């Protein structure tokens, strides 16, 4: 009797939620369910194409599988060559129907699994779970984008909408220079009012990203006076390069480690009498004897911030600390280009509120914001400067991304598609 009561409550709850949908929304939900098998087959096809970032042919193959499907929806679609920034390139698709806001949809074609990875194929774990390279990060999200647009097209809505899809080919390992690598995203952001990112966020369908921290690099270079170790700390010899490097790192920790959402990690350090470091391989060599004061040290690290203001403030503090040298030492710090922050704006929270209402109307429950400390950088950050509102993490749910155990939750493929399609329809209507 108790089990029957619980099931009855669930049926009533789902029916009440579905009643909140209008005729077109119900039609889209039905279409997505009817065509989910096709979406699964497409996802399997994409998963089984290796598209590690540096496998240019594989990245292009994924684009080639998707472009005809965008064109079948009446969209302009093409592949933009990426040789100028040493990557395969990007897929772009557009439709300009003239009604509603300008919406940018962001995905990426590449994965972290290159052709020499042992992880290459779609593998069914159970009825709900599939293992596969890039299934959650983010070929599942790419399929959500296509299915969302297909549902809107079937409802007769897409032809009136303004949509610009950018699926980059180098999200996992950005080409350089970044101003060329991300040029299409930046151009689309200048045009867009709304940006929707279909990364998998934290993998939980109950959350979405209103913010992502930045990701960029820094290099600390230190010099000291070489001498016999018996002379260290004397006025004309001073502390040496390694002591100076350690002082700087400790003061970074002391002054900045407690600030919310700010992290800075020294990933490697090389120090001694003679050193070398290769930025391309992230490796170095050092020679130094215990009875010699170290002449040189290099530290390489990353820094992540929630806003441009926090980044500039952290830079100022770090530069000041670096300038306060120990005796007879010199040090400089340089900051490298990287992903900017996707800051948590009022517009982003408003869009999350609308998305959460859609989810509730579908019977999927509320959606809450991901803690920015739990999410990495993503391409939507390059759109943050130009949009009124944005939301990321709308892709397929999954776990253990960037590992050979990456898995996707197949229940979330139609779920995320329904939520995105209805959100975009309501944005078109202006409510």
Last residue of a domain, which of 335, 357, 372? 335
Beta bridge partners of 225: none
Average pLDDT over residues 89-97: 97
Given this model, what pLDDT does residue 2 score? 46
Report which DSSP code applies to 382.
Answer: G
Beta bridge partners of 366: none
The three-state (H, E, C) secondary structure of 120-170, written as one string: CCCEECCCCEEECCCHHHHHHHHHHHHHHHHHHHHCCCHHHCEEEEEEECC
Cα separation, 383 vs 405, whole angstroms: 31
In whole angstroms, how far apart are CA 280 and each of 101, 173, 277, 297? 42, 12, 9, 18
Cα separation, 347 vs 385, whole angstroms: 12
Cα separation, 21 vs 27, whole angstroms: 9
Given this model, what pLDDT does residue 234 score? 97
Cα separation, 136 vs 159, whole angstroms: 29
Per-residue pLDDT tens digits for 259-290: 999 999 999 999 999 999 998 888 999 999 99
Cα separation, 360 vs 242, whole angstroms: 57
Last residue of a domain, which of 335, 365, 383? 335
Do 191 and 241 share a structural domain?
no
Cα separation, 101 vs 358, whole angstroms: 18
> Beta strand 123-124 with 129-131: parallel, antiparallel or unpaired?
antiparallel
Q: Which two tokens stand for residue 138?
A: 């983010």
Given this model, what pLDDT does residue 16 score? 55
Overall number of domains in the chain: 2
Do 158 and 120 share a structural domain?
yes
Do 239 and 189 share a structural domain?
no
Do 287 and 417 share a structural domain?
no
Residue pair 295/227 in contact by the 8 Å Cβ criterion: no
Do 273 and 195 share a structural domain?
no
Given this model, what pLDDT does residue 46 score? 98
pLDDT-based confidence at residue 338 (cuts at 50, 70, 90): very high
Residue pair 197/106 in contact by the 8 Å Cβ criterion: yes
Cα separation, 162 vs 325, whole angstroms: 56
pTM of the complete model: 0.90
pLDDT-based confidence at residue 201 (cuts at 50, 70, 90): confident
10 Å CB burial of residue 116 (0-12, 13-18, 19+) is exposed
Residue pair 139/47 in contact by the 8 Å Cβ criterion: yes
Do 299 and 406 share a structural domain?
no
Does residue 336 surpass a pLDDT of 60?
yes
Average pLDDT over residues 125-142: 96
Does residue 345 surpass a pLDDT of 50?
yes
Q: Mean pLDDT over all residues of the chain?
A: 94
Do 281 and 254 share a structural domain?
yes
Cα separation, 266 vs 380, whole angstroms: 26
Per-residue pLDDT tens digits for 356-410: 999 999 999 999 999 998 877 899 999 999 899 999 999 999 999 999 999 999 9
Cα separation, 336 vs 219, whole angstroms: 8
Q: How many CA atoms lie within 13 A of 33 on its CB side?
A: 7
Radius of gyration of the chain (CA): 25
- If one compares 76 and 202, the residue with the highest pLDDT of the two is 76
Last residue of a domain, which of 335, 366, 383? 335
Given this model, what pLDDT does residue 139 score? 98
Domain that holds residue 285: 216-335
Do 382 and 357 share a structural domain?
yes
> Beta strand 263-272 with 194-197: parallel, antiparallel or unpaired?
unpaired
Given this model, what pLDDT does residue 81 score? 98
Do 346 and 250 share a structural domain?
no
Q: Which two tokens stand for residue 115?
A: 């052709």
Given this model, what pLDDT does residue 96 score? 96
Do 208 and 127 share a structural domain?
yes
Do 360 and 271 share a structural domain?
no
Do 197 and 77 share a structural domain?
yes
CATH of residue 361's domain is 3.40.630.10
CATH of residue 268's domain is 3.30.70.360
Given this model, what pLDDT does residue 191 score? 97
């Amino acid at each position: 009797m108790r089990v029957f009561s619980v099931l009855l409550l669930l049926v009533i709850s789902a029916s009440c939620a579905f009643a909140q949908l209008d005729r077109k929304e119900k039609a889209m939900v039905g279409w997505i369910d009817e065509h989910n098998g096709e979406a699964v087959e497409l996802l399997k096809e994409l998963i089984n194409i290796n598209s590690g970032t540096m496998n240019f042919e594989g990245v292009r193959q994924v684009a080639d599988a998707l472009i005809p499907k965008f064109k079948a929806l009446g969209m302009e679609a093409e592949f933009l060559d990426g040789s100028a920034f040493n990557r395969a390139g990007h897929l772009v698709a557009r439709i300009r129907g003239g009604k509603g806001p300008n919406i940018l949809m962001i995905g990426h074609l590449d994965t972290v699994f290159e052709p020499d990875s042992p992880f290459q194929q779609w593998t069914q774990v159970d009825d709900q779970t599939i293992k596969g390279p890039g299934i959650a990060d983010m070929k599942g999200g790419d399929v959500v984008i296509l299915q969302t647009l297909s549902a809107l097209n079937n409802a007769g809505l897409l032809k009136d909408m303004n949509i610009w899809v950018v699926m980059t080919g180098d999200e996992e390992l950005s080409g350089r220079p970044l101003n060329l690598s991300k040029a299409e995203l930046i151009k689309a952001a200048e045009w867009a009012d709304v940006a929707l990112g279909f990364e998998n966020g934290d993998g939980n369908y109950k959350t979405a990203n209103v913010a992502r921290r930045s990701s960029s690099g820094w290099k600390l270079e230190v010099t000291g006076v070489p001498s016999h170790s018996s002379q260290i700390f004397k006025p004309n010899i001073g502390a040496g390069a390694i002591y100076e490097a350690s002082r700087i790192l400790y003061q970074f920790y002391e002054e900045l480690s407690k600030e919310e959402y700010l992290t800075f990690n020294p990933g490697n350090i090389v120090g001694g009498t003679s050193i070398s470091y290769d930025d391309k391989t992230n490796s170095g060599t050092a020679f130094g004897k215990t009875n010699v004061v170290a002449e040189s040290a290099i530290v390489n690290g990353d820094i992540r911030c929630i806003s441009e203001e926090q980044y500039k403030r952290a830079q100022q503090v770090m530069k000041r600390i670096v300038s306060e040298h120990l005796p007879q030492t010199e040090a400089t710090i340089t900051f490298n280009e990287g992903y900017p922050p996707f800051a948590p704006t009022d517009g982003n929270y408003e869009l999350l509120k609308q998305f959460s209402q859609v989810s509730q109307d579908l019977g999927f429950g509320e959606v809450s914001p991901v803690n920015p400390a739990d999410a990495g950088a993503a391409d939507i950050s390059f759109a943050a400067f130009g949009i009124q509102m944005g939301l990321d993490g709308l892709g397929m749910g999954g776990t253990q991304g960037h590992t050979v155990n990456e898995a996707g939750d197949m229940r979330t493929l139609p779920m995320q598609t329904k939520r995105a399609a209805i959100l975009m329809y309501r944005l078109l209507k202006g409510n």
